[in-house]
């Protein structure tokens, strides 16, 4: 049994303090987010997380990508689709992932232990298009989703090739809402998956009662859901466990929607049920969703609690 995070972590931005950083700041080249990445990576490692993220500290899950994708424009913080969607103008998260990996390697004295590492995370094309406004060019969301899948594929390939993650995760929270055309959604994920040599995960938050059957058919290796904050999801998993054979389950076991530390007995009980349903070798424990909104100490304690329970059953 391994552990991971869904992605985001509380951001602590710091003023430049070293001489080098002050100098960089003076010429406008200081990157305040670099320290935030390091803080998030160190917290994940100290808590015992096996597969870490870079903390996704640079912004919200949509604009962090759309700001670099031609055809998309950010207006007052919201993304608008203004012309044909093309490939990103640059690699978006590769440098941050490489930095996270460097911090991780140093933490382990120069060699990251087998089975541990980083993961790349992208926001899925369905979620990005459904949270954007189409201003021109596309007559329907589905065509925009397919073009965006091709565009995001460039980022996925760059992450796989240049940051060597353990796996890549696509965040598609909209898939549980009933708003997304599932056939297009599946086609988009197939485009992203094409030619990948590492596992692909898909994170979907929300209640799964209506969408689980469709989601289980997606061509991914790991399906990641919320089970702590959404009590109905465990029943859905139990009833449909036969549909996900061959796939691992990312098992959200601490509640990211409350800013208090979960009850250890409750989490233990939840994980035990998951082991009974899918087996511990098919489980990757993580929080329900990103931890961005939690205070730093609470986020850390949630991760620590989750890893204590992982260790108990590993
Ligand atoms: Zn989520």
pLDDT in tens, 111-143: 999 999 999 999 999 999 999 999 999 999 999
CATH architecture of 2-313: Alpha-Beta Barrel (3.20)
CA–CA distance from 159 to each of 97, 163, 290, 291 (Å)? 8, 5, 20, 23
How far, in Å, is the centroid of ligand 1 from the Cα of 202?
10
Query: Is residue 253 within 8 Å of residue 286, measured between CB atoms?
Result: yes
DSSP annotation string for the chain: -EEB--S----------SHHHHHHHHTT---HHHHHHHHHHHHHHHHT-SEE----TTS-TTHHHHTTSTTEEEETTEEEE-S-----SS-SSHHHHHHHHHHHHHHTTT-PPTT-EEEEEEE-HHHHHHTSEE-SS-SSHHHHHHHHHHHHHHHHHHHHHHH--SEEEEE-GGGGTT-S-HHHHHHHHHHHHTT--S-EEEE--S--TTTHHHHHTSS-SEEEEE-SS-THHHHHHHHTGGGGTT-EEEEEEE-TTSSSPPPHHHHHHHHHHHHHHH-GGGEEEEESS--TTS-HHHHHHHHHHHHHHHHHH-
How far, in Å, is the centroid of ligand 1 from the Cα of 251?
12
How far, in Å, is the centroid of ligand 1 from the Cα of 21?
34
How far, in Å, is the centroid of ligand 1 from the Cα of 204?
6
| pLDDT value at residue 222 | 98
How far, in Å, is the centroid of ligand 1 from the Cα of 288?
7
How far, in Å, is the centroid of ligand 1 from the Cα of 289?
4
| pLDDT value at residue 15 | 84
Query: Is residue 97 within 8 Å of residue 122, measured between CB atoms?
Result: no
Beta-ladder partners of 121: 169
pTM here is 0.95
Q: Based on C-alpha coordinates, what's the Rg of the chain?
A: 19
How far, in Å, is the centroid of ligand 1 from the Cα of 60?
12
Ramachandran region of residue 179, left (φ > 0), alpha (ψ -120 to 50) or beta? alpha
How far, in Å, is the centroid of ligand 1 from the Cα of 28?
34
| pLDDT value at residue 11 | 87
- Low-confidence residues of the chain, pLDDT below 70? none
How far, in Å, is the centroid of ligand 1 from the Cα of 143?
25
Q: Which of 247, 231, 177, 175 is closest to 204 using CA atoms?
A: 175
Strands 248-254 and 222-226: parallel
Q: d(Cα 180, Cα 261) in Å, to the nearest integer?
A: 33
Domain residues of the chain, as ranges? 2-313
Please classify residue 42 by burial: count the beta carbons closer than 10 Å to its beta carbon, then call 0-12 exposed, 13-18 middle and 19+ buried.
middle
How far, in Å, is the centroid of ligand 1 from the Cα of 173?
6
Other CB atoms within a 10 A radius of the CB of residue 95 amount to: 16
How far, in Å, is the centroid of ligand 1 from the Cα of 17?
34
How far, in Å, is the centroid of ligand 1 from the Cα of 220?
17
């Amino acid at each position: 049994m391994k552990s991971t995070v869904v992605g985001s972590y509380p951001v602590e931005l710091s003023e430049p303090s070293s001489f080098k950083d002050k100098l960089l700041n003076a010429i406008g080249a200081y990157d305040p987010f670099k320290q935030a990445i390091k803080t998030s990576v160190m917290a994940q490692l100290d808590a015992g997380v096996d597969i870490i993220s870079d903390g996704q500290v640079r912004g919200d899950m949509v604009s962090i990508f759309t700001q670099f994708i031609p055809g998309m424009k950010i207006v007052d913080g919201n993304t608008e689709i203004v012309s044909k969607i093309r490939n990103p103008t640059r690699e978006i998260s590769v440098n941050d992932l490489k930095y996270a990996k460097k911090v991780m390697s140093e933490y382990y004295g120069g060699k990251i232990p087998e089975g541990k590492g980083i993961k790349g995370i992208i926001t899925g094309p369905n979620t990005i298009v459904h949270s954007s406004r189409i201003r021109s060019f596309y007559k329907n969301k589905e065509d925009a989703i397919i073009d965006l899948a091709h565009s995001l594929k460039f980022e996925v390939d760059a992450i796989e090739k240049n940051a060597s993650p353990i796996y890549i995760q696509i965040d598609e929270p909209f898939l549980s809402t009933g708003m997304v055309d599932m056939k297009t959604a599946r086609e988009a994920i197939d485009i992203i998956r094409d030619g990948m040599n590492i596992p692909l995960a898909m994170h979907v938050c929300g209640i799964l009662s209506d969408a689980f059957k469709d989601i289980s058919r997606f061509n991914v290796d790991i399906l990641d859901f919320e089970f702590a904050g959404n009590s109905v999801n465990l029943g859905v998993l139990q009833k449909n466990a036969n549909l996900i054979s061959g796939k691992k389950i990312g098992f959200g076991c601490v509640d990211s929607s409350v800013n208090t530390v979960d009850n250890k007995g409750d989490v233990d009980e939840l994980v035990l049920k998951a082991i009974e349903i899918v087996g511990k070798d098919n489980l990757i424990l993580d929080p329900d969703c990103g931890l961005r909104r939690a205070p730093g100490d609470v986020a850390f304690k949630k991760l620590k609690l989750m890893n204590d329970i992982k260790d108990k059953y590993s």
